[in-house]
Amino acid sequence: MCGRYTLSVSNKPAIAELGLQSADRFNIAPQSQVLIQTDSGAHASVHWGIPMGGSKASRFVTNARFETLDAKPLFRDLARCALLTDGWYEWQRVGAKKQPWYHHRGGRLFYMAGVYQSGVGCAVVTQSASEALTEIHHRQPVLLDAHDLNSWLNGAESSDELPALEISYHPVSTRVGSTRYDDSSLIAPVDLDCATVGQTADLLSGDKRFSAEDGKR
């Protein structure tokens, strides 16, 4: 799944070439405004989260499973999109604790598959984690590079139709679990013995306003 991610645009020539402007963000959380490419090829800023139960819903779904995308009424009629990113965080359960890991491509821009409705919100589409990433979490975003965008946006029916991207990952501070922090130190590697320094009570995993698709993580 994906609960937090990054988009540090200042070092991305590809962002400038698209004519887009955005601040560097190292802790993009649910209910944020996020940058997407729509199924029409345009770029837009949308709310991250699909409300459960109508416009007055108090809970939001942030992830949608690729395997059941067309079967779930909440997602069935949504359009496809892609979220611009240069990395995402995943939490690994270690006993009673959860340790965040940063997943990235060495600073390169890539995309996460998504679904959206204009004026409502979007969700990140997930799949079973690749063998290399399963030690961290059993789910991961469906990942795309610029060459894969059209395949996804035009209706790829399986992640098998999309090339696998090579991903690096390393442990980071649990400070990323708090939206109070949003700076480049969040993606810096840490020793696992020091990773819990600055841990806060408002980790995403404990925030009941947000749910992965089917309520699973």
Structure confidence at residue 203 (pLDDT):
38
Number of domains the chain contains: 1
In a domain, 98, yes or no: no
Rg (CA), the chain: 16
- Does 82 fall in a domain? yes
Residue 135 lies in a domain: yes
pTM score:
0.86
Q: Which amino acid is at 78?
A: L
Q: What is the pLDDT of residue 55?
A: 57
- Asked whether residue 100 is domain-assigned, the answer is no
pLDDT value at position 57? Answer: 63
What pLDDT was estimated at residue 95?
85
Task: Indicate which CATH number applies to the domain containing 150.
Answer: 3.90.1680.10
Assigned domain for 59 exists? yes
E strand or H helix at 127: strand 121-128
Helix, coil or strand: residue 79: strand
- Contact between 4 and 91 under an 8 Å Cβ cutoff? The reply is no
Q: Residue 200: what pLDDT?
A: 33
70-78 own/partner pairs: CB under 8 Å, 24+ apart:
72/213, 74/50, 74/213, 75/50, 75/115, 75/123, 75/213, 77/117, 78/50, 78/115, 78/116, 78/117, 78/123
In a domain, 187, yes or no: no
Instruction: Tell me how crowded residue 148 is: count the other CB atoms within 10 A of its CB.
Output: 20
Give dist(CA 104, CA 53) in Å, integer: 34
Structure tokens at 26: 């190292």
Strands 63-65 and 121-128: parallel
Is residue 177 in a domain? no
For residue 33, what are the domain limits? 4-86+108-165+207-215
Residue 201 has a pLDDT of 30
pLDDT at 179 (0 to 100): 94
Q: Do 66 and 102 contact (CB within 8 A), yes or no?
A: no
Residue 20: exposure state from Cβ atoms within 10 A (0-12, 13-18, ≥19): middle
pLDDT in tens, the chain (217 residues): 688 999 998 777 778 777 777 889 999 999 999 999 999 989 999 999 999 876 566 789 999 999 999 899 999 899 999 999 999 999 998 888 899 999 999 999 999 999 999 999 999 999 988 888 888 888 999 999 988 898 899 887 777 777 789 999 999 999 999 999 999 999 999 998 655 443 333 334 334 344 555 444 4
The answer as to whether 99 is a domain residue is: no
